[in-house]
């Protein structure tokens, strides 16, 4: 019997450590590295890292590197040499685009060419899934296992971690209960919990939709600002209420409320993107400057929940063709696309136009 955490549990710990500013150790065979999230680094830990010796790099995504005019020799990421006099402000300035326009010259930034970036890739994946800025300070270690034990740090084995970081965590139903709604008294809320310790997702079932016929369905991604605060910067609130109203009128439907705030980058990063939008960048460029792809959501989650609930065919309320493609690729047949065009206003007109132009949204 072993009470030790398995790799899924170790990864959940590693994300929590990174969010708290605690270093983690990554190892792959004989190579190992200490990793810290740039966003949660403090001056003391930076000084401690310096004392460990040479070879420290700041790993950023190729998207962020492009903005900074740094070479991404590793394709999807760049390993930037930490200059000997680099301060905490320098690290944060490379990681966070907030002051890019005020201090455009951070360089010259020197990217590492030699060596492999496998551990760096895992570190970036962990910062992203911890909903932090995708940037990690990394120090090579000679013996990762010994170092992690002597400092009491979480040790992640890359070979075990990699397959988990590429797949969607299994989700399990936790509870469901009756929830009368304004749009229909026959509402029911189901809670699904992923096994990887990530955020829970919800399904609102309206009426008793037949499992052997296409169900009117919506995959709605969380938008705290639009869904709850009535933000005019997007169309999420009206889409959420419009979808529920349509399901209420038909007497049946299922709305998945997926906790993938900000197209999967988290609320803090979405607000960083909003600040960049106030500086003149559009929604896609803002994500790229932060180091993210346009859309970091995992729509496989939605397909898995529908399957768990017994649905295989949907009439999908969406304007986003990639949602349809992801459903089809994951075992859900989209028999119809039901357009959902509501809530355009003077503040979100440009945002909706960008989504149509750059992300292929249907008008
Ligand atoms: N990163 C980022 N996320 C945003 C921004 N504006 C809105 N969002 C998020 O975008 C998501 C919108 O979700 P959805 O409405 O489900 O998706 P969609 O891709 O627009 O597709 P449909 O609405 O189905 O047509 C939510 O998670 C919002 O929080 C933004 O400017 N930047
Ligand atoms: Zn929104």
The verdict on the CB of residue 222 being under 6 Å from ligand 1 is yes
Task: Report the pLDDT value the prediction gives residue 204, as an integer from 0 to 100.
Answer: 98
pTM of the model: 0.95
Q: Is 295 helix (H, G, I), strand (E, B) or coil?
A: coil
The verdict on the CB of residue 348 being under 6 Å from ligand 1 is no
Question: Which residue did the predictor score with more confidence, 181 or 53?
Answer: 181
- If pLDDT is split at 50, 70 and 90, which confidence band does 363 have? low
pLDDT for 198-213, tens place per residue? 999 999 999 999 999 9
Give the distance (Å) from ligand 2 centre to CA of residue 226.
Answer: 4
Is residue 234 a known part of a binding site?
A: yes
Neighbours of 104 (CB within 10 A): 10
Is 295 part of the annotated catalytic residue set?
A: yes
Q: What is the pLDDT averaged over residues 180-206?
A: 97
Helix, strand, coil percentages, rounded to 5, for the chain = 40, 20, 40
The verdict on the CB of residue 234 being under 6 Å from ligand 1 is yes
pLDDT for 284-328, tens place per residue? 999 999 999 999 999 999 999 999 999 999 999 999 999 999 999
Give the distance (Å) from ligand 2 centre to CA of residue 38.
Answer: 27
Give the distance (Å) from ligand 1 centre to CA of residue 263.
Answer: 5
Is residue 127 a known part of a binding site?
A: no
Domains of the chain: 7-163 (3.90.870.10), 171-260+297-358 (3.40.50.10990)
Question: What is the CA 170 to chain-centroid distance, rounded?
Answer: 17
- If pLDDT is split at 50, 70 and 90, which confidence band does 224 have? very high
| Ligand 1 atom with the shortest distance to the CA of 260 | 27
**Cα–Cα distance between 33 and 139 in angstroms, integer?**
5
Nearest to 251 by CA among 304, 184, 151: 184
Strand runs labelled E in the chain = 24-28, 31-37, 57-61, 77-81, 135-141, 155-157, 171-178, 187-194, 201-206, 215-221, 253-258, 313-317, 333-338
Phi, psi for residue 162 in degrees, rounded to 5? -50, -55
ipTM above 0.90, yes or no: yes
Is residue 218 a known part of a binding site?
A: yes
Question: Which residue do the tokens 């010796």 mark?
Answer: 53
Which residues are CB-contacts of 1 (< 8 A; sequence separation ≥ 6)?
none
Task: Report the pLDDT value the prediction gives residue 54, as an integer from 0 to 100.
Answer: 82
The verdict on the CB of residue 343 being under 6 Å from ligand 1 is no
Q: Identify the DSSP state of 270.
A: H
**Cα–Cα distance between 183 and 338 in angstroms, integer?**
19
């Amino acid at each position: 019997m072993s009470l030790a955490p398995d790799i899924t549990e170790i990864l959940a710990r590693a994300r929590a450590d990174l969010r708290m500013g605690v270093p983690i150790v990554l190892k792959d065979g004989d190579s190992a590295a200490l990793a810290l999230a740039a966003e949660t680094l403090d001056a003391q830990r930076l000084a401690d890292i310096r004392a460990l010796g040479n070879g420290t790099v700041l790993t950023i995504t190729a998207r962020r590197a492009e903005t900074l005019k740094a070479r991404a020799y590793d394709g999807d990421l760049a390993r930037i040499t930490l200059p000997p006099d680099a301060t905490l402000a320098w690290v944060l300035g490379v990681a966070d685009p907030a002051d890019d326009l005020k201090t455009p010259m951070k360089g010259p930034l020197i990217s590492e060419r030699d060596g492999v970036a496998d551990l760096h890739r895992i570190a970036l994946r962990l910062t992203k899934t911890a909903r932090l800025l995708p940037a990690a300070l990394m120090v090579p270690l000679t013996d990762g296992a010994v170092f992690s034990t002597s400092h009491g740090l979480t040790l992640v084995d890359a070979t075990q971690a990699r397959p988990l970081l590429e797949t969607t965590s299994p989700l399990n139903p936790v509870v469901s209960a009756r929830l009368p709604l304004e749009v229909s008294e026959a509402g029911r809320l189901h809670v699904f919990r992923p096994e990887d310790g990530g955020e829970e997702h919800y399904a609102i079932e309206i009426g008793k939709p037949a499992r052997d016929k296409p169900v009117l369905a919506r995959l709605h991604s969380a938008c705290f600002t639009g869904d709850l605060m009535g933000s005019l910067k997007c169309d999420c609130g009206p889409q959420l209420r419009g979808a529920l109203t349509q399901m209420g009128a038909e007497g049946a439907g299922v709305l998945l409320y997926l906790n993938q705030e900000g197209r999967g980058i988290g609320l803090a990063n979405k607000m960083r993107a909003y600040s960049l939008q106030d500086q003149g960048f559009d929604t896609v460029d803002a994500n790229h400057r932060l180091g993210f792809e346009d859309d970091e959501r995992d729509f496989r989650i939605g397909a898995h929940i529908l399957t768990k609930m017994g649905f295989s065919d949907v009439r999908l309320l969406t304007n986003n063709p990639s949602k349809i493609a992801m459903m089809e690729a994951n075992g859900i047949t989209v028999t119809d696309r039901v357009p959902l065009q509501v809530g355009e206003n003077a503040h979100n007109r440009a945002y909706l136009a960008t989504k149509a132009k750059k992300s292929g949204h249907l008008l």
